[in-house]
Amino acid sequence: MAPILAHRFDKKPIVISLGGSILVQEHIDVAYIKKFNDFIRRQVKNGRRFIIITGGGRIAREYQQAASAVRKVSNFDKDWIGIHATRLNAQLLRTVMADICTHVVIDKRKKLQRLTKPVAFGSGWRPGASTDHVSVSIAIDYGAEVIINASNIDHVYSADFRKDKTAQPFNNLTWKQYRALVPKEWKPGLSSPIDPVAARLAERHKIQAIVVKGNDLENFERLVTGKHFSGTIIG
C-alpha cells in the first residue's frame, strides 16, 4: 500500500519491538544486521534515542519444539527457553552497538533506571507473553506513547494473507478492532503481530503500536523521521 501514514515522535526514546524473525531466518541475517546498525547510528547522529527489544523468532520456536519432542514440557518452561533466545539476540545487537548503547540488557522491569546512552536493548522478561508485552511495558516506564513493531509483515491484515487471498491490509485500527482479529489467549510461540496480552496492556495505557516490515529499512527510516510510511497504526 502507498506510504500515506505519518507519526511525529517527541523527544522520548523510540521503542522498537524487533522481531526475531527478521534477525534470523535460516541463518543469522548478517547483511540485515549491518544495515540495521548503520540505520540506528545514522538516527543517533541526528539526536534520536532508541530502546530496542529483540524477539526470539525461529531460534525460540526451534528450541521450544526440540524440548517438546523429547518430553512433555510445560508452557512455562517453553516460555523460558524462548526468553533465553530473545536474550541471545539482544546480546548480539548490544555487542554490535557496544560504543553507543548501555551494556546492561533490560531483561526485567526497572533493570535500568536511567538511559545514559542513546541506545538500550531489552529482551524477554517473564513467561506469559512475548517481547511485544515487554515493549509496551518499557514504553509505559520510559514515557513513550508508541511502540514500533518491526517484524516480517508489512501490515495487519483482516485474515492470514498466506492462507486467505481475500485478506485486506489495514492502515488504522483501534485496539478493540485489533483484538477481535487475534487469539485471546497466550501460548508459547504464538504468532500474531502484537500478542494479545500486550494488546490489552497497550489499550489500558493508551499506547499506540505501529506495525511495519522490519527489513524494509527505507520505510522504517521514513517512519522514525516523521515522513510518510506504509504500515498499520493501532490505537
Among 40, 51, 112, 129, binds ligand UTP (CB under 6 A): 129
Question: Of 191, 200, 208, 221, which lies in the binding site for ligand UTP, with binding defined by CB under 6 A?
Answer: 191
19 binds ligand UTP (CB under 6 A): yes
Segment lying near ligand UTP (by CB under 6 A), choices 32-40, 92-100, 187-195, 199-207: 187-195
Angle between helices 196-205 and 131-142 (to 10 degrees): 20
CA distance 118 to 171: 30
Cell, residue 86: 530473545
Q: How far is the CB of 136 from ligand UTP (least distance, A)?
A: 11
Minimum distance of ligand UTP from residue 113's CB (angstroms)? 20
- Give 68's contacts (C-beta < 8 A, 6+ positions apart): 78
Q: Cβ 102 to ligand UTP, closest distance in Å?
A: 19
For ligand UTP, the binding residue among 15, 40, 52, 55 (CB under 6 A) is 55
Nearest to 85 by CA among 105, 55, 115: 55
Amino acid at 152: N
x/- mask, ligand UTP, residues 150-169, rule CB under 6 A, reads: -x------------------
Does the footprint of ligand UTP cover residue 127 (CB under 6 A)? yes
Could you give phi then psi for residue 229, rounded to 5 degrees? -135, 170
Q: Rule CB under 6 A: is residue 137 a binding residue for ligand UTP?
A: no
Report how far residue 118's alpha carbon sits from residue 51's, in angstroms, rounded to the nearest whole number: 8
Strand order in the sheet with 172-173: 119-122, 50-54, 14-18, 146-151, 208-213, 232-234, 172-173
Residues near ligand UTP (CB under 6 A) are 19-21, 55-57, 60, 78-79, 82-83, 86, 124-127, 129-131, 133-134, 151, 188-189, 191
